[in-house]
Chain A
Amino acid sequence: MSLTRRQFLKGSGVVGAAAVAATLPGCTGTTDTNTPGQGPRYGMVIDLRRCFGCHACSVACKAEQDVPLGYFKSWVMVSEKGRYPHARRDFVPVLCNHCDQPPCVEVCPSQATKQRKDGIVTQDDDLCIGCKYCVQACPYGVKYSDPRTKTAQKCDFCLHRVEQGILPACVNTCNARARIFGDLNDPDSAISRLIAGNPVQTLRPAMGTDPRVYYIGLDQDAYAPIQRAFSLSDQPGTQGE
């Protein structure tokens, strides 16, 4: 063989360095979201004191987003607890939490799942390879693989509407006005004022994802079934108390 050990190692090193250099720029789908003053940071508050479980948000979402039968981007979990005459029903609408530390973005191997500066986590169908890793990584179980497109799908706060200055479909349709969408960086926005004036909670705070969908009036017992479905140990995180 004419190739010496030195030449071989040198060649391997150059190829390896080139490969690493080629992958470094833009090599992660995560981004720092806007801080106050930099631009909007979108989020949602779900006021459970107002929700009466009509499922209009689920239906509006399916219609707006063309979600296939049997799949949901946003839905209402229902729990019943207690014994007559002290039985009660609770409704907990769930959707993508557009976390500040989104695990779905972290694990996506092709950067099809990305986070915008305004905090909205998006899914690019053309880039998705259909590995479903993001579906596994989501602690809230709000991503699914569409059987028609064979790509992962999720709520994007109806980005096409938000970019036109229109509210997301679920917010727009909510009869009880239990869903409040807006800019968390704007202290004068309705959502910011609501968060400042009420104790709010997030789902599964122990996951460290820093969700940007907040709940008001989330009953510990009503929340327990969610924990049983996804997890058992988390206690709802509290903010603004």
Chain B
Amino acid sequence: MIGVITYNTPHLIYWDWRIAADLFLGGIGVGAYLIAVINSLVYRDRYARVSKVGAILAPLFVIAGLGFLLLELGHPLRMWRTITGFNISSPLSWGGLFQTLMIIIGIMYAYLWTKPNAVKLRNMVGVIGIPIALVVGGYHGWLLTIIKARPLWNTGPSTITALLSFVITGMAAILLILCLLPKARRAGVGAAGDGGSQESGSATWMIRDFRHLLVGAMIVQGLTFFIWWISLYYGSADAHAALLVANAALGPLFWSVGIGAGLVIPIGLQLMAVVRDRGRPERAHTPLTILTTVLILVGAFVFRYAVVVAGQLC
């Protein structure tokens, strides 16, 4: 075998944890917004607290995500140039525009929750925001996917994984906030079927019913991740090499925290709770839910971080 040694310039990593934080926090904001609006439209005011928490979280998290993006920029004060010099073929141009729209819509939607007489307008604003939220969520995956030069990112399943991830993290953030609210305000979290009012039972509903949705979404995300992995492992030589390099550099962190703690353990814990409650009134398992949601959020951040950094290695 002929050995080949190459002498090249140092390889630099330009996007760090701040880009991961932008994708992660923006994703939570978008997910929280979608859940708030859909919950409000489907269940009207039955579980209003869920929508209220989601409506407040949405603009805050999108703003925080955008803040980390600005921190990463060399010239954040020139951000307005993405509007004046709008490039129709650049995902970042579209992302900046739609994130700004998302913030405006999110703030309007949250504000309208303080106006009890403006339910129709609130729902209208909420519906207008849905496609915007989907674009922002999709953009978080699309931003990386279109880069042909980075085989780890340049796969279809990576966008789907990102899309699912923002729904899951948005859901997890709302659940976590509901669980952490003072007991009097989250009446009903302790036990389902305790005779509480519909409004006070919202958190219980979230935990009891959304748990199933959350577990389902996580299983689907696990499957899309598996397809992503397969497409890399059995894909082109580029893709395979990118996977090997990524594994060598960030494999332990990615597999233990990103996948293990962020996906496998939460699914296991929640399934365990579902099985244990079988045949009797289902309980909310507040501490378990807090643990699960924290694990999901930490895992999702590590997942994003590992993908962003490892993608630049090859």
Seen from chain B, the residues whose Cβ lies within 8 Å of a Cβ on chain A are 2-12, 14-15, 72-76, 78-79, 81-93, 95-96, 115, 117-118, 120-121, 124, 128, 146-151, 236-238, 240-241, 312, 314
**Distance of B77 from chain A, by nearest CB (Å):** 9
Could you give, for residues 26-70 of chain A, a 1 whenever the CB lies within 8 Å of some chain B CB and a 0 otherwise? Answer: 011110000000000000000000000000000000000000001
CB pair A130 B75 closer than 8 Å: yes
- Residue among B8, B15, B151, B314 with most chain A CB within 10 A: B8
CB-CB under 8 A from B86, the residues of chain A are: 23, 27, 109, 111
Q: Is the interface of B mostly helix, strand, loop or mixed?
A: loop
**Distance of A29 from chain B, by nearest CB (Å):** 6
Q: Does A128 contact B (CB under 8 A)?
A: yes
CB-CB under 8 A from B147, the residues of chain A are: 103, 107, 136-137
A52, B138: Cα distance in complex, Å: 49
Given A79-B6, A129-B79, check contact A106 B89 (CB 8 Å): yes
Seen from chain A, the residues whose Cβ lies within 8 Å of a Cβ on chain B are 1, 3, 5, 8-9, 12, 23-24, 27-30, 70, 72, 75, 77-83, 103, 106-112, 127-133, 135-139, 141, 144-145, 149-151, 207-208, 221, 224-226, 228-234
CB-CB under 8 A from B124, the residues of chain A are: 5, 8-9
CB pair A129 B75 closer than 8 Å: yes
CB pair B150 A136 closer than 8 Å: yes
CB pair A81 B75 closer than 8 Å: no
A127, B82: Cα distance in complex, Å: 9
CB pair A110 B85 closer than 8 Å: yes
CB closest chain-B residue, reference A152 = B74
**Distance of B142 from chain A, by nearest CB (Å):** 11
B121's partner among A8, A70, A127 (CB-CB below 8 A) is: A8
A51, B28: Cα distance in complex, Å: 54
CB pair B89 A81 closer than 8 Å: no
CB closest chain-A residue, reference B94 = A109
CB-CB under 8 A from A82, the residues of chain B are: 2-3
**Distance of A163 from chain B, by nearest CB (Å):** 23
CB-CB under 8 A from A132, the residues of chain B are: 14-15, 74
Given A1-B121, A27-B86, check contact A83 B2 (CB 8 Å): yes
CB-CB under 8 A from B118, the residues of chain A are: 1
